[in-house]
Chains A and B, each alone.
Chain A
Amino acid sequence: MWKLILRRTLITIPQIILLSVLVFILAQAMPGDALTGLIDPNIDPATIEAMRERLGLNNPWYVQYIDWIKGVLQGDFGQSFRFKMPVSELIGERMINTLWLSLATLILTYLIAIPLGIISGRFNDTWLDRAITGYTYIGFAAPLFIFALVMLFVFGFQLGWFPTSGSVTPGTEPGTFAYFLSKLNHLLLPALSMALITTVSTVQYLRSEIIDTKQKDFIVTARAKGNSETRVYNRHILRNSLLPIAAFFGYEITGLIGGTIFIENIFGYPGMGELFLSSISLRDYSVMTALVLLFGLAAIIGALLSDIILSLVDPRIRIK
């Protein structure tokens, strides 16, 4: 068991190294560098060249990479050109907001997906199932950014139930209960909008798993033993169907990254996704590379989590 987890974790190390190289090379491949366009065009090119030399921008890429990765390992991603502050500090604030948003979305996703999937799978081909699958098709078809805009318009502006931007009411004292409530109030609508769309794949997945499992031979065995229908579902079908859903959990995290980029921009929620888009449009390279690296890291950790969860819940892939 531990051997499997350890082995699987060790595999992520080369993945992470490769990711960092790729991110760095891509950033290098972009035209221009930190000095392009930043400096008054009247300055003598020789001075700029001297500056490049001093900053190490003329070194071969691998030397620059090693310089960069040294900093990254110490938590130093360089300076943001836009905010004139260390990238790590800038991201740190945003990361906590994004983590809360992702967590809320994940909880809501499963709160919606599990009951709907179970109902839909157990009573497949009834009107209830058709209603639920109908919803999932709409969810698949509706782009997240359109749906989120509609939600914002209806619940934020028309009904005024939720705040329309920000992550907390300005002036609230951090640490108080009111602060916590305000945070919750601000992330509820974006989290719900995202969950309602991202949950549909989990609903469909769970539904088809249940339909698949209930036709398995061991379900007949369970009935032949004298299990009641409820017990057959709770003890035999559900556990076997939830297994792939549990394994899907890690990949859900990867999906969230894409989701938060849209959602944070639409709801003006100060998280990593919002920072990412604005950094791209303002060519804030150091912030961008740091964010791409973090998103990639989250995806790798998500896959790692999936594999570990699967090995925990499925005895067939446990290694003794």
Chain B
Amino acid sequence: MNDVLLNIKNLKTSFRIKDDYYAAVDDVSLTVRKNEVLAIVGESGSGKSAFAFSIMGLHTRAKIEGDIDYKGINLVKASTSQMRKLRGKDMGMIFQDALSALNPLMVVGDQIDEAIFLHNPKSSKSLRKKQVINLLNQVGIPRPEKTYHQYPHELSGGMRQRIVIAMAISNQPELLIADEPTTALDVTIQSQILDLIKELKDTINAGIILITHDLGVVAEMADRVAVMYAGQIVEIADVYTLMENPQHPYTRSLLNSIPTLNDVKEELHVIQGVVPSLQKLPRTGCRFAARIPWIEESSHEASPELHEISPGHFVRCTCYKDFYFPEQAEEERNYVAN
């Protein structure tokens, strides 16, 4: 497999709470290929962002174990100066909340300029300015010359997100990590930003890790999808398989929670409970079991593993075989009774 860009093996990111370490990302193995969009989906608190930050080495107080192989460099063990050269050059990151992700006291042009300067310290200021203007054009800023000298608070939400994107792609990265790039935006701007990312994907040929909890975004953007729950990957498949033939109870519940217009149900499907906190999460057995209590305990594996049920389609635990939605079962019972 020559087109593998990033090969992550048994990644485990733990945070210290009081005296113990708790894993927020627990034994995740993944590959990201060149020119593909890999979406990572899950509820808040499932470890998506912790995973992204681990790749970039942006955690300041976390214990990271495992291997992240990027072009022969193990990012987990790389030195700070090695990581510094990769960050912003080979790996760009798009952040969720563009307003807080930009320095409020610097004009946006200078912030993009800094990203270029750090990796080309010998380039001239005027050349960099041209590059910045080009980038601003590329991300669809209407008056780049004027915008260059504006502060983040003077721009609209969509414009700010474009600035963050321009910053992330300023050195033509090979890997782009987008951490919920559209969550803070309203729907019309969301689709503009998604179109922009798609467009850029074709021009810069980067592998993209798209972190989101919006399955609509996944359907529109992703090539492959990894579903994450409580720090683990519970299902991974290409986007068509996952949308058409989801297997893991968590994936099915997520998809079932999307309201549709032609649905006669009055209530939305809600997944019971919440993602357990790091300290309260049981580390043995199926982690999703607590949220589907109507499923027999014997359906779960003692130590759930990823099973390849068809080429490229992995599902964790065996509970998917016996899973059903209680309201559907009830409907069926009513149907039979009548």
Contact = CB atoms under 8 A, between A and B. Distances in A.
B119 A226 contact: yes
Given A226-B85, A236-B103, A221 B118 contact: no
Contact of B114 (A220, A225, A316): A225
B305 interface: no
B115 A216 contact: no
A217 B153 contact: no
B89 interface: yes
A217 B87 contact: no
A315 to B, nearest CB: 5
A220 B58 contact: yes
Interface string A213-245: 000111011111111110000011001100100
B118 A218 contact: no
Interface stretch (B31-39, B93-101, B311-319, B330-338): B93-101
A217 B95 contact: yes
Contacts of B326: none
B151 A218 contact: no
Contact of A218 (B58, B80, B88, B102): B102
> Chain A at the B interface: mostly helix, strand, loop or mixed?
helix
Contact of A220 (B95, B104, B115, B168): B95
A240 B104 CA distance: 8
B227 interface: no
Interface in A262-315: 313-315
A167 to B, nearest CB: 42
A217 B100 contact: yes
B84 interface: yes
Contact of A226 (B84, B95, B97, B102): B84
Given A227-B118, A316-B151, A316-B153, A221 B167 contact: yes
B84 A228 contact: yes
B118 A217 contact: no
B215 interface: no
Contacts of A227: 84, 114, 118
B102 A224 contact: no
Contact of B101 (A218, A313, A316): A218
A172 B119 CA distance: 61
Interface in B90-130: 92-93, 95, 97, 100-105, 114-115, 118-119
A237 to B, nearest CB: 10
A316 B58 CA distance: 28
A224 B87 contact: yes
Contacts of B97: 217
A224 B56 contact: yes
Contacts of A316: 104, 151, 153
Contacts, number: 68
Interface residues of B, number: 28
Contacts of B92: 224
Contacts of B89: 226
Contacts of A235: 114
Contacts of B164: 221
Interface residues of A, number: 22
Contacts of A223: 58, 87
Nearest to A216: B100
Given A216-B100, A217-B100, A225 B105 contact: no
A314 B95 contact: no
Nearest to A318: B151
Contacts of B86: 226
A221 B88 CA distance: 9
B104 A218 contact: yes
A67 B335 CA distance: 100
Contacts of A228: 84
Contacts of A224: 56, 58, 87-88, 92-93, 95, 168
Given A217-B95, A223-B58, A315 B151 contact: yes
Interface string B55-95: 01010000000000000000000001000111111001101
A255 B86 CA distance: 49
Contacts of B168: 224
A315 B88 CA distance: 27
A48 to B, nearest CB: 66
A77 B105 CA distance: 46
A41 to B, nearest CB: 69
A221 B115 CA distance: 10
Interface of B: 56, 58, 80, 84-89, 92-93, 95, 97, 100-105, 114-115, 118-119, 151, 153, 164, 167-168
15 contacts: A217-B95, A221-B93, A221-B101, A221-B164, A224-B87, A224-B92, A224-B93, A226-B85, A227-B114, A235-B114, A240-B103, A243-B105, A315-B153, A316-B151, A316-B153
Given A218-B101, A221-B167, 13 more contacts: A216-B100, A217-B95, A217-B100, A218-B100, A221-B93, A222-B114, A223-B87, A224-B168, A225-B88, A225-B114, A226-B115, A228-B84, A315-B104
